[in-house]
Chain A
Amino acid sequence: MGTKILIESVIMALRSLVTNKMRSILTTLGIVIGVMTVVVLISVVLGLNDYVANLLSSMGSNTFYVSKMNPMITSDEEWWDQRNRPDLELEYIDAIRRNCPHVEFVATRVITQKKISYKGRTTNYLFVLGTNEEIQNMDDMEVKSGRFVTVADELATSYICVLGYETRETLFGNTDPINKRVKIEGMPFTVVGTLDKLGSVFGQSRDNIVCIPITTFKKLYGLNQFMMLMVKPYGEGSPEPAIEEVRQLLRRMRGLRADEEDNFAIRTQEAMLSLFHSLTGAIFAVMIGVGGISLVVGGVGIMNIMLVSVTERTREIGIRKALGARRRDILFQFLTEAASLSLVGGILGILLGVGVVKLLSVNIGLPVSTPPWVIILGVTFSVLVGILFGIYPANKAARLHPIEALRFE
């Protein structure tokens, strides 16, 4: 019996939705926005989580990072303090290799922006990455043709380069670039390899790059405060012994006395993860806030429209009661109507949300992920909001006295 009345009520609800299109759209707007917000934010946060998890796992879970400045700077003074520290030196790489038995390898990266040209063609500013052979173990860069930067290139300070996917396309189209000479800001470099497509993240193409040996980079452009060492300890265990070795070595090389603080920063993945999680935690808090507020606003809208509907249909309620509808039948009818109304809003919100997520991922390259449970969550939430805010109007309808309801003009 319940299901029959349920079906009738859903049909009635949808019918009254269609007859009051404008009103329904306005009523459900809050729900639409609320559900959309939740879908978008969850998708983005999950996408970022996946992305970061992937990135970190490709680097090895106990890899740690050495840089001049700590990226988690909290004040201006701190920034100026750290800025005035001496830059990291190239010699550290070799010193670590030789003096730290717990370290398997050290990769490095430093970036600047330059234009590259080949024959008549010139690219826009793109990223020139000064790096070494070891970075291949930590990054998802894959050589497509030729070879990558080698230790020999590093030691010889060779003028060789490896082109990113887009850089190659821009300069060479379909022709083979290997052993051709390109010019990076006027300096000739021999192309020794090309990279596979990497795609884009946060709207940044990762294919608009060119890699050169770190030594050559230093000679031409100098190192800068953004230079970073990525240190991989042996095995999968704790990075602490390796960190201690590197720390003591760097303190010695940077001439620090025992009572002085480190003038460089070492970050573990754990620290980066916790930074990341505090960021996504903040996004989640915002999401709960925004989504919650819109859902409440939407719920109040539903309640309001249901109260109007109950008043408008007082006579109908009287008729139904005269024909044998019990309180719970009327209650059920109006609850179903409220739930259907907000379900329609929820579905619209999901569709819009999925659309926005698509836009974000296609146009901005934001990593996103919308698993089915997000959609189920959206549907469930909207129905719950409808029921919750429908209780008061539905109860009001159910308690009407049949005679008074029938008399209502």
Chain B
Amino acid sequence: MNVSGDGALIVLEGIDKTYDMGKAHQVKALVDLTMRVSSGDYIAIMGPSGSGKSTLMNIIGCLDTPTSGNYIFEGREISDCSEDELAHIRNIKIGFVFQVYNLLPRSPALANVELPLIYSGVPRDERKQRATETLTAVGMGERVKHKPSELSGGERQRVAIARALINKPSIILADEPTGNLDTKTSGEIMAIFDRLNEEGNTIIVVTHDPEIAEHTKRLVLLRDGQIQSDEEIKSRRNFS
């Protein structure tokens, strides 16, 4: 099957991820997983704890490599990529949003959002300008000089989203982005993702919360490292 020729953004085929825990013990985090993501998709991944959601996101995000199987990103076989090429893909093609924000604690919001641009060699002035614009777009225009410790959880996550967006990535990967937030703030964060998807961004969100999943258009259920179901969300709410 020629998976790379059909225009999908992401094709995962027979992906295994096995962690070796000493001689005898192995953890199979993903087992023969096959999945495709098209441009413009808005996907929720749900499943019990330990079902492999984060592992899957890390592989899609090129932070980790599968033990076996094919991963084709924009028509390119990822397992052929060097470490530097993976770093480059992470830098300009992927926007990662983490549950724990993962901001640099001592740097102000602006510097945090600028960071990916430093690694793509964007000049200083342009960096400042784009970071300011992107922060403004997520409603943080007034907080560019604040350090993470001076921001609420929701605000930190907005900064993290701005950082993920700064290089106009092909896909935004959010691993439990609302896991540390209250319901109201979670709704606000999801509203940002909704809008980004409407603007054409491809987004995958991992969540435990069915209400969060209802923001998306497609739900993938994981169990024991395998896809249990993958279907369109019919009850999709219109939040906007």
Contacts and interface: CB of A to CB of B under 8 A. Distances in A.
28 contacts: A1-B121, A4-B123, A8-B118, A15-B106, A315-B102, A318-B102, A319-B102, A319-B104, A319-B115, A320-B115, A321-B87, A322-B96, A323-B90, A323-B116, A323-B163, A324-B87, A324-B119, A324-B167, A325-B87, A326-B84, A326-B119, A327-B87, A402-B63, A402-B64, A403-B58, A403-B63, A406-B98, A406-B102
Contacts of B167: 324
A329 interface: yes
Binding site secondary structure of chain A: helix
Given A4-B123, A318-B102, A326-B119, 11 more contacts: A4-B121, A8-B118, A320-B119, A323-B91, A324-B87, A324-B167, A325-B87, A325-B91, A326-B83, A327-B84, A327-B87
A74 interface: no
Interface in B59-114: 61, 63-64, 83-84, 87-88, 90-92, 96, 98, 102-104, 106
A15 B147 CA distance: 15
Contacts of A87: none
A316 interface: yes
A5 interface: yes
A174 interface: no
A75 interface: no
Contact of B87 (A4, A319, A326): A326
Contacts of A19: 106
Given A322-B102, A329-B119, A403-B58, A4 B63 contact: no
B210 to A, nearest CB: 27
B95 to A, nearest CB: 9
B63 A324 contact: no
B84 to A, nearest CB: 5
A316 B61 CA distance: 18
Scoring A4, A8, A318 by chain B CB atoms within 10 A of each residue's CB, the highest score goes to: A4
Contacts of A325: 87, 91, 119
Scoring B91, B98, B118, B121 by chain A CB atoms within 10 A of each residue's CB, the highest score goes to: B118
B106 A324 contact: no
A5 B104 contact: no
B183 interface: no
A326 B81 CA distance: 13
A406 B98 CA distance: 10
Nearest to B164: A323
Contacts of B145: none
B83 A322 contact: no
Contacts of A327: 83-84, 87
Interface in B31-64: 58, 61, 63-64
Interface residues of B, number: 27
B124 to A, nearest CB: 7
Contact of B104 (A316, A326, A406): A316
Contacts, number: 63
Interface residues of A, number: 23
A324 B88 CA distance: 6
A403 B119 contact: no
B83 A4 contact: no
B116 A324 contact: yes
Given A322-B90, A324-B87, A324-B92, A4 B102 contact: no
Interface string A371-409: 000000000000000000000000000000011001000
Nearest to A328: B84
Interface string A1-16: 1001100100000010
10 A-B pairs with least C-beta separation:
A324-B91, A1-B121, A324-B119, A326-B87, A323-B116, A324-B90, A402-B63, A319-B102, A326-B84, A403-B64
B149 interface: no
Interface in A288-345: 315-316, 318-329
A5 B119 CA distance: 8
Contacts of B58: 403
Contacts of B104: 316, 319
A323 B91 CA distance: 5
